[in-house]
Amino acid sequence: MLDRYAIQIIKSPLQQIAILFDQRGMRADQVTVLGFLLGLLALPSIAFEYYYLGLLFIIINRIFDGIDGAVARIQGITDSGGFLDISLDFLFYSLIPFAFVLADPSTNAVAGAFLIFSFIGTGSSFLAFAVMAGKQGIENPVYQHKSLYYISGLTEGTETIFCLILFCLFPQYFAAIAYLFASLCWITTFTRIWSGYNTLKTVATKAKE
């Protein structure tokens, strides 16, 4: 929901950093993998209850996720790069609630599982529509420089990052935050399925006319 506004705010600084990465010969895919590897360090940090350290690695991962896209726009967006980026993004998003489950299984296990379950809904509805939109040649007027069609929703990247930050700042309330955000994710999933189904159905109907 907030991604379109957040992109406008961070676009310029990310572009400047991306120019430096490009000048030093780093490929966009290398930035993606490096950011993911650094993000993996959030798992042991949170699992051993070093929540602020985990937050640091979350922020680093998300910064690199923005930089790799900016580098890709300089060097040329590729399908392989887009595939790598989105795959590692979803793995990283699921990694954080799993880390909190490891930190306190008795309190966080069910809430963490429910949140990861909701990520399956948002991720599958997002990716399934992106595949069909690409097949039908449907373009997104908002995210024109993305390798995949980004169908919007109540919980997008910006909201997810904010949720992960809240987890680390208030770990004692992980379960409550997780249940709330997971519920919002399910609203996103259902609206995406409804919107995506009707969009594709309309396109198919027009193609037959």
Domain harbouring 156, CATH code: 1.20.120.1760
* pLDDT of 148 higher than 90: no
- Selection from 175, 206, 35, 40 nearest residue 108 by Cα: 175
**Parent domain of 143:** 3-208
Angle (CA) 69 71 77, round 5°: 65
Instruction: Tell me which H or E stretch contains 71.
Output: helix 51-75
- Minimum mean pLDDT range among 5-19, 71-85, 98-112: 5-19
Name residue, tokens 């790598």.
84
Q: Is 126 helix (H, G, I), strand (E, B) or coil?
A: helix
* pLDDT of 157 higher than 70: yes
Contacts of 81 (CB under 8 A, 6+ apart): 28, 29, 32, 68, 72, 147
pLDDT digits (tens, 9 = 90+) for 160-190: 999 999 999 999 999 999 999 999 999 999 9
- Selection from 40, 173, 152, 56 nearest residue 94 by Cα: 40
pLDDT digits (tens, 9 = 90+) for 10-58: 778 888 888 999 999 999 999 999 999 999 999 999 999 999 999 999 9
* pLDDT of 142 higher than 70: no
Q: How many domains does the chain have?
A: 1
Q: What is the mean pLDDT of residues 120-139?
A: 85
